Structure 1
Amino acid sequence: MFLGYQIPDFEYGTSPQDTFGLVVAQAHEAESAGFDCLYVMDHFYPLPLIGPIDGTMFESQTLLSALAATTSNIGLSPLVSSVTYRNPTLLAKSTATIDAISGGRGGFGLGTGWFEREHRDFGFDLGRLSDRYEKLSETLQILRALISGDPGVFSGRWFRCDRPIMNPPLRSDIPVLVGGGGELRTFGLAARYADHLNILCDAAVITRKVSAAEARCAEVDRDPATLLTSYTAYLFTADSDREAQVVHEAFMLAAAVSPQQPWADISSELRLPWLISYWGE
């Protein structure tokens, strides 16, 4: 079993300096508990169900660099980097730096991006979904070439590079994660280029999604067992199921969402349809 710990929220009512200390404390706890990888979001604003739009949000690659120097054995990766925010070779350079600082614990996490307001506010072009899939495909091709140590020349519609020299180099086994729920394009790119597929979907369709991922692997003659497949979930903990339900309901009410219809009043692109799990005695 592979277990990842994601830190999606940096709004603790503290100064940014004190907030970073709390993030480091979480990283140490996750490391001590035996989690395989620590993930951080690649956003400029808190997500709509998690915090206020003007809440604290650290830049992901900078934060991962700091955590690389303050942790010992846990993997470090974004979940996930939007391909709209960084040139692939710049992303490779910063990730190679994180990997070197951490002693070989860095990783890539990639997705198409979706948060329209932060793109607009910060001056990034979100573009059409089809364009973002093209960017994701080109980014994965460039990263795979860089990881192989033979990048050559790449000239795509969105990105290009000309035999970039990577030093520090990307290690040959640095993990590449693709995240999302698209059964054709996202899963297809994961089957072709990724080591790890993280699925975002409603809990009721997990089985279908896994079957779709296996089908995409079959299309490229890949053994599905070689594609680590995981699922993002909220986990509400308490001493009993009922107490955990109270914690869950309080979270949903704080986000102004009905526990009975958790995503009814939120536009489809802002929904976070993650499994709600209870951990009781």
Structure 2
Amino acid sequence: MRLGLHISKFTWPDGAPRLGPTLAEIASAADQAGFERISVMDHVWQISVNGPPELEMLEAYTTLGFLAAHTRRAKLLTLVTGVTYRDPGLLAKAVTTLDVLSGGRAILGIGAAWNADESAGLGLFFPPTKERFERLEETLRICRQMFDGDETPFHGAHYRLDRPLNSPPALSRPRLPILVGGAGEKKTLLLVAKYADACNLFAGPDLQHKLDVLKRHCDAVGRDYDEIQKTILYRFPEDTAELIEAARRFAAMGISVLHGGVTDAWDVRRFDRFRDEIVPALEEM
């Protein structure tokens, strides 16, 4: 079992003038504490579960590039990129660039997008749900192709790439991994079974049911369920023993990474218990 630090809030003491240095300190502390990955949301406004839209929010791939410069081991990803925010050729190029500059530490986290308000607010493309899922499937096909170095033209219903050249290639092997986020049973989990190396779900009471649905999709498309990495978003409890016990339960279900936020992460002493107690215990699972 491994931990991922999910950074979803940037409203910290001293505001924007200290935001960059504080983020660097958090990332470095998490990296040194043994967090296996660091993720950010792909939003341009803060989302309602964290507060009003006016709260600070950083653009995801600029932020991940910054994090690459302030970490040495942690993998870097979004949870998750909205498919409509960037055309697939540019998205594949951005993630590959992150992988090369970080020394092979990038993961493409992607989903169908959902935040209509921020899209309308900033004039971003946001088609109906059906089309977003069609675009998600085409984007997954394009990214896999570009990560594999295949320059065959791609002509789909929504995207046309005459030469999907991707140079320099990613450093990750066997290829840059793709994580699909979301728990929709008919579409999202089917796309996981068909195209993804990993999925990200929520730690709710229906988690086992979602895993069972994914397994059925894998059986239907001839995919080995066990080769897909299962990760979840999970609120880390303040009690260390409670977190370790929860991790054991999730590990028994086949979950291999817990993504969570650290309360008041700007106080990097918060990472001491992860370094000294939690990460060593989880590494034995």
2:91 maps to which residue?
A: 91
Q: Separation in 2 of the partners of 1:114 and 1:205?
A: 21
* Aligned pairs, number: 246
Please list, as runs of the form range in 1=range in 2, the aligned pairs for 1:70-109 lying within 5 A after superposition: 70-109=70-109
Q: Separation in 1 of the partners of 2:185 and 2:240?
A: 37
Q: Separation in 2 of the partners of 1:240 and 1:177?
A: 29
When residues 94 and 239 of structure 1 are mapped into structure 2, their CA distance, relative to the original with a 3 A threshold, is closer
1:178 maps to which residue?
A: 180
2:214 pairs with 1:213: yes
Please list, as runs of the form range in 1=range in 2, the aligned pairs for 1:1-281 lying within 5 A after superposition: 1-171=1-171, 172-200=174-202, 203-238=204-239
> Following TM superposition, by how much is the alpha carbon of 1:52 offset from its aligned partner in structure 2, in angstroms?
2.3
| TM-score, normalised relative to structure 1 | 0.82
Q: What SS does the corresponding residue of 2:84 show, helix, strand or coil?
A: coil
Q: Which consecutive unaligned segments of at least 5 residues does structure 1 have?
A: 242-273
Q: What SS does the corresponding residue of 2:47 show, helix, strand or coil?
A: coil
Q: Separation in 1 of the partners of 2:2 and 2:232?
A: 10
Q: Which consecutive unaligned segments of at least 5 residues does structure 2 have?
A: 243-258, 262-272, 274-285
Q: Separation in 1 of the partners of 2:213 and 2:260?
A: 19
When residues 104 and 275 of structure 1 are mapped into structure 2, their CA distance, relative to the original with a 3 A threshold, is closer
Deviations 1:142-166 (A, max 9, x none): 0011111113111122212112221
Structure 1, 120-129 or 9-18: larger mean CA deviation: 9-18
Deviations 1:55-92 (A, max 9, x none): 11110000101111111010001110000100111011
| TM-score, normalised relative to structure 2 | 0.81
Q: Is the 8 A contact 2:147 2:166 kept in 1?
A: no
Q: Is the 8 A contact 2:179 2:197 kept in 1?
A: yes
Q: Is the 8 A contact 1:203 1:275 kept in 2?
A: no
Q: Is the 8 A contact 2:89 2:143 kept in 1?
A: yes
For 2:225, give the aligned amino acid: P
Q: What SS does the corresponding residue of 1:235 show, helix, strand or coil?
A: coil
Q: Is the 8 A contact 2:6 2:260 kept in 1?
A: no
Runs of 4+ in 1 over 3 A off after TM superposition: 238-241
Higher relative contact order (CA 8 A, sep 6+): 2
Q: Separation in 1 of the partners of 2:46 and 2:67?
A: 20
